[in-house]
Chain A
Amino acid sequence: MRKFITGVAFALCCVTSNAQETIKIGVIADRVGVSKPYSEPATEGIVFGADDLNRKGGILGRKIELLIEDDQSRPDISAALARKLIDQGAVFILSMSLTPATQQQQTVTMEAKTPQMTPMNSGDTLTTQLQNPYFWQTGPLGSIQIATLLAHAKSKQLKRVALITDNSDLGQLLGRFFKGGLEKSGIQVVAEEVVARGATTAAPQMQKIRAANPDAMFMAGVLTAENVLIFKAYREMGVRFPIHSSYNLSVPIYMTVAKGLINGVTFVDAYDPEKPEVKAFEAAYKKATGKDPFNLHGYGYDGMMLVAEAIKRAGSTDKEKIRAAMQGLTYAGVMGAKGMKYSFPDGKRAGYDPNGMVVRVYEGDKQGRVVHVGQK
């Protein structure tokens, strides 16, 4: 008799536990490699988002299960990990590592028809090099960054500028877009310099720039140490033209390693600390984890929310339905200027609103206020 009841109970458990099957979302992050400073906080944002959603009952009545893999900033491992996640049943993959890694994952997701998104990579080529209908990018594109920076600088009547970057792949990519944007606005790039990884000084490059006598200098580099070298050379050469930088300067590490060097530097960012959604996010995050978040956390959080929203709209975990839902999505998140929404109109897969970036300025050593919004 007892065995019979146990058996029925067991069978019931199996049946009900099937209904409670989780929604698996794969995350490929860099936990230990060169992009860890960006990947780690963004991934924490994702985890917070998933936990928050699960506390409120999950999506479609099911809990979210995050499968987090570490690709160590190695693109060849990245592709293998994408396959692993798909084999494990992930219905969506969030790419939180380097741009080339995301690129490499795309060959896999395209073949396996699995939705994939990067909420933070900014390389424009990710949506143009491969026509992958299952891939979206909601990070702030390099082209949007330069357009926003230029809009801010327009009031300053810039005619001749210098461009400096590093020799990393993203740095070179951003550099190309910056140059293109500048030239399209009729601004002449009078000096174009590269600081190599491992350099001990940026003095020769800064001298060359000084000799060209620009009205301002645009920085497209993404390597922290090399950017610091640029700031130091700037001080040493005694030049005074304004500096406008890519969103790399929004990473908080600069407040410690570039102390005293960045006052007045303007940079594009996707984070407006005065936005009500941001304030709500910061409060909720602090309450749940006890720590203060910063802009990078927001990228991950928005990514998770976008995926959740798409799955909700799709009404199921069928990958095709999710794809269609995401493509038709409009969503207001934490990142971006006040009132900005992510959307993918006309079949485009880059969802960051071109007018959604802000320009902020360093005041002293702290990331300061917003001085300009959008591309107008």
Chain B
Amino acid sequence: MRLAAWIGVFAALAALPFFLGSYHNDVYRKMLLWITLALGYNFLFGICGQVAFSHFAFYGIGAYSVVILLFQVNLPLPIAIVLGIVICVLLALAVAIPATRLEGFYLALVTLALAQLFIVVLNEGGAVTGGTGGIANYRLPPILGWRIAGPAYTVVIVALLAATLAVLWRLDRSWFGRACRAVRDNPEAAAAMGVDVARTKVIVFTLTSALAGVAGMVYAFVDNTVNPPIFGLDNAFLILFMVIVGGAGRHAGAAIGAILLFLLPFWLAPLVGHHHQLVFGALVLAAILVQPKGLVGLWDRFSR
């Protein structure tokens, strides 16, 4: 799509919140955040072939970092953001570098353990993390004298989404993206062609985790609360499901999957209540068995 068209799309997305009620605005924002997360995860899993369950944990690490640095250590906002990103990067490196020696699903398990450990640390963190109750009662400090809230903050989220998509899109198109796909499809052949497989994996993991962390920082000021149940394990699986059902490897797929699986519980609530998870499980199973390319694959098939 042409650049002008893209700008038009994002302008529309940014203008929309000013016309929605507060409830719909809330749902819209969270949906945008999920799309952002799914895009990052799609790059890690769909394009580079790494299964990991820590994506959502980094979302939480970013959120908690910025809140703690801003309100407990009392750093100014820009420094808190930068420091938060640094924390995510360091943590991601600490996990990724040793983990590159592991194949396939073992990385997934290490990251699963990491995600659980994160929750344990949050719960036991006492005054620093707010323990099991989390931290609340804070607000985004004024930036350059302006208080950004309500629909204006949604514009920030749209900007985040646009930036994330831009970064990932460029990377995907570059030789790095090709290297990632090579690593996904056939690591030995990739190595034979001169791709440093380990380094590629580490970079992808660190980059996507940092992006998730930034998204988390933005999230921290959406509900103005962070607590351990929000960042629990259910959502880690949900991201994976979103990408699989939408179509792994394609940005559009990640977006479609995120929108569908995020909104589905709201539509299904009158019918099946909490058990929308059942529908998700069935969708994932169906996707893998019948249409591994996901919904995007189906779309392609029909539009041919």
Decide whether A and B are members of one complex: yes
Number of A-B contacts (CB under 8 A): 80
**In the complex, A173 has a CB within 8 A of chain B:** yes
User: What's the least CB distance linking A352 to chain B, in Å?
Assistant: 20
**In the complex, A239 has a CB within 8 A of chain B:** no
A172, B21: Cβ atoms closer than 8 Å: no
> How far does the alpha carbon of A3 sit from the alpha carbon of B131 in the complex, in Å?
68
**In the complex, A367 has a CB within 8 A of chain B:** no
> How far does the alpha carbon of A125 sit from the alpha carbon of B134 in the complex, in Å?
11
* Neighbouring B residues of A86 by C-beta, 8 Å: 22-23
Q: Which of B22, B30, B131, B224 has the most CB of A within 10 A?
A: B22
Closest to A175 in B: B132
Interface residues of A in 82-115 (CB under 8 A from B): 83-84, 86-87, 98-100, 103-104, 107, 112
Interface residues of B in 96-138 (CB under 8 A from A): 123, 131-134, 136-137
> How far does the alpha carbon of A130 sit from the alpha carbon of B30 in the complex, in Å?
23
B26, A130: Cβ atoms closer than 8 Å: no
B23, A87: Cβ atoms closer than 8 Å: yes
**In the complex, A129 has a CB within 8 A of chain B:** yes
A103, B274: Cβ atoms closer than 8 Å: no
* Neighbouring A residues of B21 by C-beta, 8 Å: 83, 87
* Neighbouring B residues of A107 by C-beta, 8 Å: 136, 223-225
* Neighbouring B residues of A173 by C-beta, 8 Å: 132-133
A130, B227: Cβ atoms closer than 8 Å: no
Closest to B132 in A: A169
Interface residues of B in 243-278 (CB under 8 A from A): 269, 273-275
**In the complex, A79 has a CB within 8 A of chain B:** yes
User: What's the least CB distance linking B119 to chain A, in Å?
Assistant: 10
A75, B273: Cβ atoms closer than 8 Å: no
**In the complex, A31 has a CB within 8 A of chain B:** yes
> How far does the alpha carbon of A125 sit from the alpha carbon of B135 in the complex, in Å?
11
B132, A104: Cβ atoms closer than 8 Å: no
A76, B132: Cβ atoms closer than 8 Å: no
B133, A100: Cβ atoms closer than 8 Å: yes
User: What's the least CB distance linking A197 to chain B, in Å?
Assistant: 10
Given A72-B274, A86-B22, the answer on whether A100 and B227 have CB atoms closer than 8 Å is yes
**In the complex, B84 has a CB within 8 A of chain A:** no
The interface bits of chain A over 168-194 (1 if a CB of B lies within 8 angstroms of the residue's CB, else 0) are 111111000000000000000000000
**In the complex, B213 has a CB within 8 A of chain A:** no
> How far does the alpha carbon of A242 sit from the alpha carbon of B174 in the complex, in Å?
69
* Neighbouring A residues of B133 by C-beta, 8 Å: 99-100, 103, 123, 125, 129, 169, 173
> How far does the alpha carbon of A72 sit from the alpha carbon of B131 in the complex, in Å?
22
B136, A103: Cβ atoms closer than 8 Å: yes
> How far does the alpha carbon of A72 sit from the alpha carbon of B223 in the complex, in Å?
17
Interface residues of B in 30-60 (CB under 8 A from A): 30
A172, B274: Cβ atoms closer than 8 Å: no
> How far does the alpha carbon of A76 sit from the alpha carbon of B27 in the complex, in Å?
10
B274, A32: Cβ atoms closer than 8 Å: yes
Given A70-B273, A75-B230, the answer on whether A84 and B23 have CB atoms closer than 8 Å is yes
Given A172-B131, A173-B133, the answer on whether A31 and B274 have CB atoms closer than 8 Å is yes
Closest to A125 in B: B133
**In the complex, B228 has a CB within 8 A of chain A:** yes
**In the complex, A283 has a CB within 8 A of chain B:** no
**In the complex, B229 has a CB within 8 A of chain A:** yes
* Neighbouring A residues of B131 by C-beta, 8 Å: 169, 172
Interface residues of A in 195-219 (CB under 8 A from B): none
* Neighbouring B residues of A129 by C-beta, 8 Å: 133, 136-137
Query: What are 15 contact pairs spanning A and B, CB under 8 A?
Result: A32-B273, A70-B274, A72-B274, A73-B229, A79-B225, A83-B21, A83-B26, A86-B22, A87-B21, A100-B133, A100-B134, A125-B133, A169-B131, A169-B228, A171-B132
Instruction: Identify the B interface with A (CB < 8 A).
Output: 21-23, 26-27, 30, 123, 131-134, 136-137, 223-225, 227-230, 269, 273-275
List the 9 shortest-distance A-B pairs measured between CB atoms, nearest first: A32-B274, A169-B132, A83-B23, A84-B23, A172-B132, A32-B273, A80-B26, A87-B23, A72-B274
Instruction: Identify the A interface with B (CB < 8 A).
Output: 31-33, 70, 72-76, 79-80, 83-84, 86-87, 98-100, 103-104, 107, 112, 123, 125, 129-130, 167-173
A73-B229, A169-B133, A169-B228 known; 11 other A-B pairs, CB under 8 Å? A70-B274, A72-B273, A83-B22, A86-B22, A100-B133, A104-B225, A129-B136, A169-B227, A169-B229, A171-B132, A173-B132
